[in-house]
Structure 1
Amino acid sequence: MAPSVLIAGAGPTGLVLALVLLQNNISVRIIEKEPTHRIGSRGSGIQVRYSLLYLLQPRTLELYDILGILPEIQQEGAPIPPMARYNPGEREPVAVARLGEWVEPTPDTPHANSLSLSQERHEAILRGCLQKLGCTVELGSELRGFEQRADHVVAHIATAGVEERTRFDWLVGADGGRSVVRKQLGLSFLGETHAEQSIALGDIVIEEGIDPGRWHSWSVPPKLCVVLLLRGQYSDAHSPFRVALRSNNSTSKVFMFAYAGRPAHLAETPLTRDEFIDEFYAFTGRRDVKFGETSWLSIYRPNLRMVDKMQAGRVFIAGDAAHCHSPTGGQGLNSSVQDAANLGWKLALVHKGAAPAALLETYSEERVRVVAQMLALTTTLYKKTFSQPGAAPDEDGWRRGGELHMLGVNYCGSSIVLEQAGAGGGNAYAKATGGRVQAAYRAPDAPGLVRVGAKEAPTRLFAVFRASVHTVLLFGGGGDAAARRRVVDVLARLPADAVQAVLVRPAGTGTAPEGDASAFAAVLEDREGHAHAGYGVAADELAVVVVRPDGVVGAVVSDAEGVGEYFAKILV
């Protein structure tokens, strides 16, 4: 029997979606038309596929925490080093500053700062997680087309010149900006292409002359040159999160470069190694920098586009197939991962028959609004970073904190979110205000939770949340006993394979009220008070917070009727 879902494209979008579906016990087949995995830079020779540097934003790190894969990401990733900016011809930088200010982690936001990680290692980690669940990427298999029926999709897949036609229940196109899936669906892809702003990209070994503990940039509009260490972690004595270069990467000398501002007649072809070196010396005046081999060379032209919907029947698109953008801001990969998280749990529930097919329509409803805001943000940053000729570089173009951390990304106005009257707003990137957790926004973490009756070490909410179920947090320290009983009765009737109920008791209570424990997957004592404080719930208050599998709060209610109203929007 064929797997239930075919995913075309094995970049981060497809890999994360496959992981979410597999954790939901949905069978997956994931194909990639390229014949090899992204190899990345080794310092010598030309490799088959290139590897870029990703900025993993805090919101993505939170999702990876919930998925259970964050430790491997943190082991391979590194804090973003300071950026040294130079005037051409000068060895000493005119400024050294961080792309974003260090944010002190808090109990409710433990992953407050971005990590940098090469595309090669990021995808390898995700593939390794899939392999543990029995799924491997099929290389050299290309989706040529598909036929959509009322109850299935027939995919045309070519492998080694042989085409197969296989039936699947669902098809997801995570196949990039030139998406076959998007084109066959006939979806709009409106926006603009900046053909005049050609950017030469590549990896090159720098033997000496460049400090690997910093990123480096030279800017005289319209020319801009950036070089940064691609592999390894950075050592920065002035950083509050100083880490040393790991021994296995301590000899890495491979840098990624981006060079913009070439003459128009040269904009259509990649720079050769020698051409880049000549351009670098002529522009920067830094002939003390000694270069080695290149591993890949390419051309990038900003393509700023998005669709107006991300689904047609049983076929979906996600990631770059649905939205292309400037790399400024580090939002593209992260938005793509959030696409996968949003679609994955909904598709799983509908496929299992636990939710109505209409739930899938909320994928477009929720994500298009967020992606539109992301595109506006990154386009503004792009214009500031690549200033017009004769203009001074815009300092704001180098800032990457604040909203770009994505901790405020929300689904206000969604038809499946049970928002309070007067809540929400038009900014899809704005954090909630008021000191109390709100529906449509991220669910905070909380450490120091002790499982009642267990001898194990304290846990935290991100370790309790799962990508396969809604987590209903009942803060049951107070309120009318009859009202609490009615809530417990409703929770006990919810399907155990779709919902887990967790009782959170105030510090000092220790045990659950008599008769309550059987309705809960866990009973937790908020020993350090972080859960009540982070969620804005008083110790003597009865409150119910429903957390979706993608880490978004679906509802904040105070009675059984509210719980029933929310799940009536989700489950059959």
Structure 2
Amino acid sequence: MKTDTDVLIVGAGPTGLALAVDLARRGVDALVLERAQELFPGSRGKGLQPRTMEVFDDLGVLDAIHAAGGTYPVGMVWRDGERVGEHHMFDPAEPSEDSPYNAPWMVPQWRTQEILAERLAELGGKVAFDREVAGLTQDADGVTAHLSSGRAVRARYLVAADGGRSAVRRALDIGMTGETVDPNPTLVADVRIAGLDRDNWHLFPPRDDADFLAVCPLAGTEDFQVTARFPEGADVDLTPDGIRKVVADRSHIAAEDVVEVRWASDFRPRAALADRFRSGRVFLAGDAAHVHSPAGGQGLNTSVQDAYNLGWKLGAVLTGGAPAALLDSYEEERRPIAAQMLDLSTGVHRGEVRRGEATRQLGLGYRESSLTAEARGAAVAEGAAVRAGDRAPDGRVGDVRLFDAFRGPHWTLLALGTDAPGGGVGAAVRVVRGDAHGAYGTGLFLVRPDGYVGWAGDTPEGLGSYLGRFGLSG
């Protein structure tokens, strides 16, 4: 049966757009379907963690992300109209050579999506709006998505990136296992406020019968994000007047100073994990696969990294000659990470965990993955700073910056303080040669297209057979 596209992506949020960008630069034909008539308009997922900044560096959007956002302001605690103290949301961290982006970066979610959509258009990709998937069927050769309009779209693979209430996940009858993190409903809104300084994240602790209020200046905009929690079972008034009343009741800000409400929503924080991330030729990614409390700033970031993990694998299978079995590793690698991040974000929400090293996501990796091969002796590997499965750090080898060398859809072989294979490793692998490096030490390190060390060895023995698993010569 003829296919309309190689990969059909359902949902034009950060997950779907990041995946579409990654596939487009690999020459994979992909189509993004979005049931809304435009991109999501709110600021909801405004925090980009350092590991996601590294992903965006590779996808070619980091300059635009930097230009669109800024660092997080220090929290300012208010009581009775007076400033009573500062509150630091994050443990401090300085950038280093191996981790140049070592602090969260604030960009409203709507702007992140615009930047990804602009990058997708540059690469020749597209989003089809007002396209709702009502059901799907699949067979051994592909997937057919049935749209509410009556049209059908045929693809070799389909990726559900359509959010926590994923219609695709429900159509596949894949369950979500989870818990309520907080039974209290929470309001989040993007507003404009006259006369309020943008130097701080303004915090108004609970008092009397009112719960907390937080008013955060959104970097790169003239807006503030308002967050307010309500008693369990309360109805949240999302009208402009309702939002003005909440702000005025809980702070010294006058209702009339809330001059515009640009977007508003409410939610009840929960944590849930899909029982499976794959069914046949359909994959779940982002909120369709895992739903987080927003407190830890992990949801959007984990979602983008789902896309980054899946993108190179789909590209390898569809255009690079890799066996289809490679796609089995997506769930194997990403579901444990999602479970770990769910525990983390829930802990942050409940005040049990600080926003620090773990929330930056630089320590995540795939040491236990079936794709990981550590060919050095156990004693050498155990004492090594970087092992197979770890994130590949940045740094300089001679006059080459490693993140520059990694950028693109290829694999990279680092030959540090030792010789690279004499017979070469094929055109799909870039080789960087240099002296022993502070972050890596000495050895051969084969870096996957998503920036993790897939294979590490003291000698080239075994490297060729490892590359052969992915349809690469070596």
Q: What TM-score, normalized by structure 1, do the two folds share?
A: 0.77
Superposition map of 1:11-22 within 5 A = 11-22=13-24
Indicate the residue corresponding to 1:204 in structure 2.
Answer: 191
Which structure 2 residue ranges, 5 or more long, are not aligned?
none
Superposition map of 1:354-393 within 5 A = 354-384=321-351
Letter in 1 for 2:64: E
Q: Does the aligned pair in 1 maintain the 2:397–2:434 contact within 8 Å? A: no
1:471-508 Cα offsets, whole Å, 9 max, x none, are 11222x44xxxxx47x222x34x4x2xx31313133xx
Inter-partner Cα distance in structure 1 for 2:35 and 2:89: 35
Q: Secondary structure of the equivalent of 1:380? A: helix
Indicate the residue corresponding to 2:82 in structure 1.
Answer: 91
Q: Give percent identity, aligned residues only.
A: 37
Q: Secondary structure of the equivalent of 2:350? A: helix
Equivalent of 1:533 in 432, 438, 446: 438
Indicate the residue corresponding to 2:43 in structure 1.
Answer: 51
Q: Secondary structure of the equivalent of 2:368? A: coil
The verdict on how the C-alpha distance between 1:80 and 1:421 changes in structure 2, with shifts beyond 3 A counting, is farther
Q: Does the aligned pair in 2 maintain the 1:304–1:324 contact within 8 Å? A: yes
1:196-219 Cα offsets, whole Å, 9 max, x none, are 3100121222112x3211111122
Inter-partner Cα distance in structure 1 for 2:181 and 2:458: 51
Ranges of 4+ aligned residues in structure 1 off by more than 4 Å: 285-289, 420-423, 432-435
Q: Does the aligned pair in 1 maintain the 2:244–2:256 contact within 8 Å? A: no
Superposition map of 1:473-512 within 5 A = 473-475=414-416, 477-478=417-418, 484=419, 487-489=421-423, 491-492=424-425, 494=426, 496=427, 499-506=428-435
Which structure 1 residue ranges, 5 or more long, are not aligned?
39-48, 233-248, 385-395, 424-431, 451-458, 479-483, 507-530, 538-542
Q: Per-residue deviation at 1:263?
A: 5.9
Indicate the residue corresponding to 2:446 in structure 1.
Answer: 546
Equivalent of 1:72 in 60, 64, 77: 64
Superposition map of 1:213-224 within 5 A = 213-220=199-206, 223-224=211-212
Q: Secondary structure of the equivalent of 2:463? A: helix
Q: What TM-score, normalized by structure 2, do the two folds share?
A: 0.92
Aligned residue pair count? 467
Letter in 2 for 1:224: F
Inter-partner Cα distance in structure 2 for 1:262 and 1:281: 18
1:75-124 Cα offsets, whole Å, 9 max, x none, are 1120111111233x24113x213322432222111111110001121111
Superposition map of 1:52-451 within 5 A = 52-87=44-79, 89-93=80-84, 95-158=85-148, 162-193=149-180, 196-208=183-195, 210-220=196-206, 223-232=211-220, 252=222, 254-262=223-231, 264=233, 266-267=234-235, 269-284=236-251, 287=254, 290-352=257-319, 354-384=321-351, 399-419=354-374, 434=383, 436-447=385-396, 449-450=398-399
Inter-partner Cα distance in structure 1 for 2:64 and 2:398: 24
Q: Per-residue deviation at 1:157?
A: 2.5
The verdict on how the C-alpha distance between 1:366 and 1:10 changes in structure 2, with shifts beyond 3 A counting, is same
Q: Does the aligned pair in 2 maintain the 1:270–1:297 contact within 8 Å? A: no
The verdict on how the C-alpha distance between 1:86 and 1:409 changes in structure 2, with shifts beyond 3 A counting, is same
Q: Does the aligned pair in 2 maintain the 1:319–1:339 contact within 8 Å? A: yes
Indicate the residue corresponding to 1:555 in structure 2.
Answer: 455
Q: Per-residue deviation at 1:139?
A: 0.9
1:397-449 Cα offsets, whole Å, 9 max, x none, are 6x4221100000111211110136769xxxxxxxx985522111110112364
Q: Per-residue deviation at 1:353?
A: 5.7
Equivalent of 1:471 in 405, 412, 415: 412
Q: Does the aligned pair in 1 maintain the 2:183–2:269 contact within 8 Å? A: no
Q: Per-residue deviation at 1:225?
A: 1.0
Q: Secondary structure of the equivalent of 1:345? A: helix
Indicate the residue corresponding to 1:518 in structure 2.
Answer: none
Q: Per-residue deviation at 1:352?
A: 2.6
Query: Rg larger in 1 or in 2?
Result: 1
Inter-partner Cα distance in structure 2 for 1:128 and 1:272: 32
The verdict on how the C-alpha distance between 1:196 and 1:103 changes in structure 2, with shifts beyond 3 A counting, is closer
Inter-partner Cα distance in structure 2 for 1:143 and 1:29: 13
1:498-554 Cα offsets, whole Å, 9 max, x none, are x31313133xxxxxxxxxxxxxxxxxxxxxxxx7112122xxxxx210100111111
Q: Does the aligned pair in 1 maintain the 2:212–2:250 contact within 8 Å? A: no
Q: Per-residue deviation at 1:34?
A: 0.3
Q: Does the aligned pair in 2 maintain the 1:474–1:501 contact within 8 Å? A: no
Equivalent of 2:31 in 29, 32, 40: 29
Q: Per-residue deviation at 1:565?
A: 4.4
Q: Per-residue deviation at 1:289?
A: 8.5
Letter in 2 for 1:350: V
